[in-house]
Chain A
């Protein structure tokens, strides 16, 4: 047996491990129930809310995260390693713990809530915040490695050609990491959409799709949770495929 044949065995097992439950789930759902569920207002609203909240989180991360990624990629300063590590923390801590942490920072009686007058618990802002917290490392790390891949001499050349640092960033650095920004944004958005643990602690209502799935499973069992789950997966997949097609065309 050739090596590449041998390599197929573990590879195919892995792919099946991921694909089988998804396929099984789709075939387990009665198409007529699926259609009915897709028409339910609660389901439609929760999916739109999920996509929108994650999109807002991603936009906020683009505004704040790109400059930070640039600093991490280009500058050396004391404590940089610690700050870079801080960005990765959300990936390793349980997301329910993230929810609790955010709740203690922004909860009704917290200092931040009192001093800003903002009461975010149970709002869409809270959902976006929870999504932001857990998924921002995907964007920052992607953009950071994008900036690291660019030879700094491109930027230096822009400066000698008369650009000021801001013009250099805007006309050279940023367009050159476009691909990293797009792929990082897709990763972050997708990760945000799937967030459950942190979201449910900060905002049970309005109900996001992952919370709705959990709620239906808790109250009515697997049979009722399945259609929502399948719809959510189909919608997410469609969006990702469309983005990839758009990207491949450019």
Chain B
């Protein structure tokens, strides 16, 4: 059954969640993306039934077991790993042996059998995370909710954790709701993304929809990249619309590259440099901004470059004139969105 939030309003002190409309399909990986303080955690607490809406309705969650895993895992420090994992079973009509059996099974599944007697304070970050997910999983939840699960991890661990989440979602087939402020994380995991700003959902859609056509400048700015292009990656070359861009990334039939506007150099003549990506294009639009000037150059697709006013004046750039755009391989970000794991309605 789909989870639907219809015109949900909730006032909490000075903060207001306004007219939330969210539709999450059963089995979907939904990512709620937004900056800190935008109301992400409050929204998932509404879905988990920890808060009641002031107005509006939430359907599809009645009688469902939700597994909510908060940012810092919230493992009970006065209980050991075994007692934490078995916590939810205390309130079910189960015999001690049955509980032990279930805990052992889930501990084995998450590779934490050797930790069962340990105190929470003795665990590493990764062990805590696995314990917290095991504690939720033992209750066979219909809906998993993760609140910023990777924010405390370093870059390498983040990548690993994302891959684990993808696999875990695929394996369980359950509805996943995942809160993050990191758009790379969102694009790499989500079937569908909801973007929330200041208590309001400003856009929902597939990563594709959101990254190719952000609904507002605020969304685009939040995404941080003025240049997001869809295409495919083969042997270190990204192809889109006949243009080949050198990148660092794994092969994928569906990829996105993103380049920051201030990473793109403009020149009148082709520069002899170490930068591997150099294209000739035509200036199609010029926008003067407070911080500088935004020049849009068509190289087969539009590319936005931001330069200083002084450079703009010195180079005497006009609409229609021809320019070279140059950027380094290292300034191109590649996001793969693995289509195999998508269970949504695309």
Using a CB–CB cutoff of 8 Å, the interface residues on chain A facing chain B are 151, 153-154, 156-164, 167, 171-172, 175-176, 178
Contacts and interface: CB of A to CB of B under 8 A. Distances in A.
Interface string B50-72: 10000000000000011110101
Closest 8 CB pairs of A and B: A161-B88, A157-B74, A160-B68, A162-B91, A175-B78, A162-B88, A153-B70, A156-B50
Contacts of B66: 160
B217 interface: no
Contacts of B50: 156, 159-160
B293 interface: no
Interface string B108-149: 000000000000000000000000000110010000000000
A153 B74 contact: yes
Interface of B: 45, 48-50, 65-68, 70, 72, 74, 76-78, 87-88, 90-92, 135-136, 139
Contacts of B49: 160
Contact of A158 (B87, B136, B139): B87
12 contacts: A156-B48, A156-B50, A159-B50, A160-B48, A160-B50, A161-B87, A161-B136, A162-B91, A167-B90, A171-B90, A172-B76, A176-B78
Q: Which of B49, B50, B74 has the most CB of A within 10 A?
A: B74
Contacts of A161: 87-88, 91, 135-136, 139
A145 to B, nearest CB: 17
A161 B135 CA distance: 8
B90 A157 contact: no
Contacts of A167: 90-91
Contacts of A162: 65, 88, 91-92, 139
Contacts of A160: 48-50, 66-68
B78 A178 contact: yes
A176 B77 contact: yes
Given A162-B139, A176-B77, A156 B91 contact: no
A235 to B, nearest CB: 33
B92 A151 contact: no
B40 to A, nearest CB: 14
Q: Which of B65, B66, B70 has the most CB of A within 10 A?
A: B70
A163 B74 contact: no
A206 B21 CA distance: 70
Nearest to A157: B74
A167 B74 CA distance: 17
Contact of B76 (A154, A159, A164): A154
B88 to A, nearest CB: 4
B188 to A, nearest CB: 26
A153 B87 CA distance: 15
A58 B136 CA distance: 39
A181 B39 CA distance: 34
Contacts of A176: 76-78
Nearest to A174: B78
A170 to B, nearest CB: 11
Nearest to A161: B88
A161 B87 CA distance: 7
Nearest to B138: A161
B73 to A, nearest CB: 9
A231 to B, nearest CB: 39
